[in-house]
Amino acid sequence: MVAKSTHWADLTADKIVREKGEKDVYVCASGITPSGTVHIGNFREIISVELVVRALKEKGLNAKFIYSWDEYDVFRKVPANMPEQEKLAQFLRQPITLVPDVLGNEESYARANEKRLEALLPLVGVFPEYIYQASEYRSGRYAQGMRTALEKKDTIRAILDEHRTQPLSADWMPVSVFCTKCHRDTTKVENWDGEWHVEYSCASCGNKESLDLRETGAVKLPWRIDWPMRWKEEGVDFEPAGKDHHSEGGSFDTAEMVVEKIFDGTPPVSFQYDFIRIKGRGGKISSSSGEVVSLPDVLEVYQPEVVRYMFAGTRPNTEFAISFDLDVLKIYEDYDKCERAFYNKPDSEKALKKWEKQARIYELSQVDRPEESMPYQIQIRHLCNLLQIQSGDIDKVIENLGDVEEDQIPRFRQRAECAWAWVQTFAPEDFRFSIKTSDDPLIEVSAAEASALSMLADAVKAKMDILDEKEFSTNIYAAAEENGLESGDFFPVVYRALIGKEKGPRLASFLYSIGSARVFELISRYSA
């Protein structure tokens, strides 16, 4: 099935093999600057690479997933969502690896941002090999790359100038230096000796010195040169990039030329991925502007499989929204439908083609492998109701359902936690309720309404546990009619008595979910 899959991850894997030829290992790369909270848009790149890596592996090929943390990048701007703004501001222009962690006790601001993501990725089935750029630069690993860039700086300049409005200045150098005294990049490279030594002066502290590229670690390449240098250094075969890079004159474009002309390498296979919108949760996605929606925020409401499903089921170059409003329910329903389809392979040739696409999406959505038999399914909407009935007590919900197998509980619990988090944080007011207790004051009712409730209470006690939902529901109508009430007027009364609202979940099944004893306890109070 994998062989003829038309899923984008499989097609990309095919393309990598086609363009890069047979290799012992295919290097797939991703990476970002941890200059702020890593947001869900960044995650799209990570998961995209993961899916392609998995596709390669499932073809029996060897693939390596490297993730570069560029924490040797400059700290340019204090993100608005961070505390201690003034303290952070003191470290502007220094590499972010030297900026202190203001949220916890990590060794640095960069490391803190990195750790938060690294800790979560295994939950969604992503296991990259991390590369830390500060360490790499400091180790001298890139010394030769920098020297090469210096040797060919005029060629680089020509490439970059092609798309610049202002050409690079005559004394431009393809490297930048972090002052060894004040750590800022407010430096100017004054001279290069044609070999390993670079002289600079610092505008902030006035420091002047000569550094040996092989030993210093304080010199680095600017992004547009750094990226292709690393392609060559790591032998990158595949790396996707956002639309901001994939544009003529964008950094991918110039990096392609730089890797070929300067570093004697070939650019990786790539594709462009589009941005992600956030729906139903005010706030932007950018790490530099205020509120940030990050992977942990999404995992609070969506199970890991469902998170993967959203990304695996959408082509990378398509923009889509991650919703926190009622669409959450729709996404879960779609996922469940896809899951049912996976475990229900059709016979007819025609249906099979459609099925294969869905099935592939399902496979790729799994954190590990699909289970042997279909996981326990519960409609998310129903689950939300059950949780509210039990005030969020997941064990009670499982107990009342009675048919959740032991090995199905972990996944069920995960979904329940997400559902409960959603109900409490994002569900619209209409959707939420809590069952009254017998300590709550009675609602105001007319004599006829009290009588009807009383009659319903008797029916609940006598028949609810004997009859099924549908059979029992006639008792609701009977209670209304016999007391001269329109059923349409009586329903709100029952909802008010139970949850203090005019409306609620479909009544008959709602009563059964609550259980006869609890219902009786609440509505028998209206008996004369």
The residue range among 113-121, 291-299, 367-375, 430-438 that interacts with RNA, by the rule CB under 7 A, is: 430-438
Binding status of residue 30 toward RNA by CB under 7 A = no
Instruction: State the nearest-atom distance from the C-beta of 122 to RNA, in Å.
Output: 26
Binding status of residue 326 toward RNA by CB under 7 A = yes
The 3-class secondary structure across 18-77, one letter per residue, is HHHCCCCCEEEEEEECCCCCCEHHHHHHHHHHHHHHHHHHHCCCCEEEEEEECCCCECCC
Type of residue at 152: K
Distance CA 10, CA 275 (A): 22
Distance CA 418, CA 305 (A): 12
* Both structure tokens of 165: 């409005």
Residue whose CB is less far from RNA, 122 or 249: 249
Distance CA 221, CA 152 (A): 13
Instruction: State the nearest-atom distance from the C-beta of 491 to RNA, in Å.
Output: 2
Spacing of C-alpha 328 from chain mean position: 14
Binding marks (x or -) toward RNA, 112..141, rule CB under 7 A?
------------------------------
Cα 378 to Cα 307, 416, 419, 505: the distances in Å are 18, 10, 11, 16
* Ranges within 468-487 binding RNA (CB under 7 A): 470, 473-474, 477-478, 486-487
Residue whose CB is less far from RNA, 226 or 239: 226
User: Could you tell me if 103 and 40 are in contact, meaning their C-beta atoms sit under 8 angstroms apart?
Assistant: no
- The stretches of 277-326 forming alpha helices (DSSP H) are 295-301, 304-312
The residue range among 50-58, 61-69, 113-121, 428-436 that interacts with RNA, by the rule CB under 7 A, is: 428-436
Instruction: State the nearest-atom distance from the C-beta of 508 to RNA, in Å.
Output: 7
Binding marks (x or -) toward RNA, 65..84, rule CB under 7 A?
-----x--xx-x--------
Binding marks (x or -) toward RNA, 202..231, rule CB under 7 A?
--------------------xxx-x-----
Query: Tokens 């609940």, residue?
Result: 460
Instruction: State the nearest-atom distance from the C-beta of 309 to RNA, in Å.
Output: 14
- The stretches of 218-303 forming alpha helices (DSSP H) are 223-234, 251-261, 295-301
Pick the binder of RNA from 81, 207, 210, 247 (CB under 7 A): 247
CA angle 183-187-190, nearest 5°? 135
Binding status of residue 516 toward RNA by CB under 7 A = no
Binding marks (x or -) toward RNA, 368..397, rule CB under 7 A?
-------------x--xx--x---------
Residues that bind RNA (CB under 7 A): 4-6, 11, 33, 70, 73-74, 76, 163-166, 176, 222-224, 226, 243-251, 272, 274-275, 314-315, 317-318, 325-327, 357, 381, 384-385, 388, 430-433, 470, 473-474, 477-478, 486-492, 503-507
